[in-house]
Amino acid sequence: MAQENVEITCFIKNVDNRFRLAPPKADLFTPLYVSIGPYHMNSDLPTGKEEKERNLDKILQDQVTRGGAASNTWAVKNGWLTLLNNHMSDALRYYGWNPDLLTPTRKDEFLNMLLEDGCYILSKFVVPTIGIARGSWQRQHVPPHHLEHDIIYLVENQIPFFILEKINEITGLIPTAGGSQLVRHFCSYIAEYVLKLRGYAVGDRYVEMQIPTPSHLLHLLHILLNGPQAVEQTLATDGQDSTAIQITRFLRWRPAKQYDMVCVNLTGVDLISIEKGCHDGKCKARSILDVEPRRCGIGLEFPSLYLDSETFCMLRNLIVLEQQNANTLQQYRVTAYCTLMSQLASTAEDVQLLSANRVADHLMVHADCAKQLTDLCNGIIFDIDNPTLNYLRDECVMLERRCRSRPFKWMAWMRRKYFRNPCIAVGSVIAIIITAFAVLQAVYTVLKLKGKVK
């Protein structure tokens, strides 16, 4: 049966020019090796239509071999296309297309594209990479890295996930795998090989998560980064006293160097090492988005983020995913996180400080890394002061109070000026103690002269 009245959380749209034409000029949205979906269907890419056709022919031949001599590949393919045609209208809705406006030729081309692309994804990411043992997925090898870039990261290069499920049901590529198992497999791959390299620590606990069915693979990546259930953010009541600095509107983060000047500590933590050191699975699953106040001292604790060209591509596409699905996605968590990182890393000095504190690990020149971080959020529309959209607003306000407080500024200046050198710090403490004893002795001398003490 066709999937009727399906609720689409993330549409698959063409990237707006305000993102595509904004700096950096490097195109982070066009596939480099293989096209998936209709937007780049006729592109001249290394992995072209011929390879996907050969892949489908192999699957069809295997089906014929299992089914006996009574069938042929042409008949099997036509049968699959007939079954898949029941779901074509719902698939078109993901792209915002009205099926009544398409010519029969375009419909046939679109349907054939869904079958070829779906079989290609399943054959590369599922069939040769897993086996079922004791109810769990066992990986045998990793798909090529360029497929990960094109098929998972790119917002335009997607097909609906329910189509992958239907193709799996129709073709029987994994006879024992239902829809939930297919979601679980892709969760396994993304958590283990994509997110772990970028600061995600989840171990085997993705099996226990209640993952909603994603709209497509990039949406699944977005779900895993945010956690299986989005936490609603509400504006917390301020508990400061009447003398505290009142902040009614927060406009932006300060550069990392400014926070360092008032002794705000920005510290990175290696989530993978923490996760491996957990006992009995008591460590909660965390991702790069889980920025938290430091447990001791004033500042923020960041999951260490590894920065390379793939990281910038992934984050930029996730930002566009949130921006172009503003009516269905309730929170802009990736946008809020990238806004934080891009405003912290305004200069090469800021990046150098963040790198020294393990907030961001990279192998680039600091100035180049700063430029790419600041370009991440070009073209976005985002109210940073809205606590519903910006899950980090409370942390923003906390640090802003620290930066505006004169006593904190004075103490930070004293600490920076006199207490960074251990010898000066020890000498200053000794001088304070000697001065205190001298004052105390003078007071007792005066009191003794007046006869008030013996």
List, for residues 108-160, the tens digit of each pLDDT value.
Answer: 999 999 999 999 999 888 765 444 443 344 444 556 777 889 999 999 999 99
- What is the reported pLDDT for 128? 57
Among residues 180, 209, 226, which one ends one of the domains? 226
Q: Is 312 found in the same domain as 263?
A: yes
For residue 416, being part of any structural domain is answered with no
For residue 12, being part of any structural domain is answered with no
Q: Is 190 found in the same domain as 282?
A: no
Q: Is 291 found in the same domain as 262?
A: yes
For residue 32, being part of any structural domain is answered with yes
For residue 5, being part of any structural domain is answered with no
Q: What's the pLDDT band for 317 if we cut at 50, 70, 90? A: very high
Among residues 186, 211, 226, which one ends one of the domains? 226
Could you report the per-residue pLDDT of 400-437, keeping only the tens digit for each? 888 787 666 666 666 666 556 667 667 767 878 888 88
Q: Is 439 found in the same domain as 295?
A: no
Q: Is 159 found in the same domain as 136?
A: yes
Could you report the per-residue pLDDT of 254-284, keeping only the tens digit for each? 999 988 888 788 999 887 666 655 545 555 6
Count: domains in the chain:
3
Q: Is 138 found in the same domain as 91?
A: yes
Could you report the per-residue pLDDT of 358-389, keeping only the tens digit for each? 999 999 999 999 999 999 999 999 888 888 88
- What is the reported pLDDT for 70? 55
For residue 381, the enclosing domain spans: 256-406
Asked if residue 1 has pLDDT above 50, the reply is no
For residue 233, being part of any structural domain is answered with no
For residue 247, being part of any structural domain is answered with no
Could you report the per-residue pLDDT of 222-240, keeping only the tens digit for each? 988 887 544 333 333 334 4
Q: Is 335 found in the same domain as 214?
A: no
- Mean pLDDT of the chain, nearest integer: 80
Distances in Å between the Cα of 381 and the Cα atoms of 125, 324, 347, 397 are 35, 10, 23, 21
CA-to-CA distance for 187 and 196, rounded, in angstroms? 12
For residue 31, being part of any structural domain is answered with yes
Could you report the per-residue pLDDT of 15-61, keeping only the tens digit for each? 998 898 888 767 889 998 899 999 988 777 877 788 888 889 988 88
Q: Is 272 found in the same domain as 162?
A: no
Q: Is 126 found in the same domain as 62?
A: yes
- What is the reported pLDDT for 431? 79
For residue 249, being part of any structural domain is answered with no
Q: What percent of the chain has pLDDT over 70?
A: 76
Could you report the per-residue pLDDT of 332-359, keeping only the tens digit for each? 999 999 999 999 999 999 999 999 999 9
Q: Is 276 found in the same domain as 371?
A: yes
- What is the reported pLDDT for 188? 79
Could you report the per-residue pLDDT of 196-226, keeping only the tens digit for each? 777 776 655 554 567 788 999 999 999 888 8
Asked if residue 244 has pLDDT above 60, the reply is no
- What is the reported pLDDT for 112? 94
State the SS3 of the chain.
Answer: CCCCCCCCCCCCCCCCHHHHCCCCCCCCCCCCCECCCCCCCCCCCCECHHHHHHHHHHHHHHHHHHHCCCCCHHHHHHHHHHHHHCCHHHHHHHCCCCHHHCCHHHHHHHHHHHHHHHHHHHHHHCCCCEEEECCEEEECCCCCHHHHHHHHHCCCCCCCHHHHHHHHHHHCCCCCCCHHHHHHHHHHHHHHHHHHHHCCECCCHHHHCCCCCCCCHHHHHHHHHHCCCCCCCCCCCCCCCCCCCCCCCCCCCCCHHHHHHCCCEEEEECHHHHHHCCCCCCCCCECCCCCEECCCCCEEEEECEEECHHHHHHHHHHHHHHHHCCCCCCCCHHHHHHHHHHHHCCCHHHHHHHHHCCCEEECCCHHHHHHHHHHCCCCCCCCCCCCCCCCCHHHHHHHHHHHHCHHHHHHHHHHHHHCCCHHHHHHHHHHHHHHHHHHHHHHHHHHHHCCCCC
pTM exceeding the 0.75 threshold for the entire prediction: yes
Q: Is 190 found in the same domain as 285?
A: no
Q: Is 293 found in the same domain as 171?
A: no
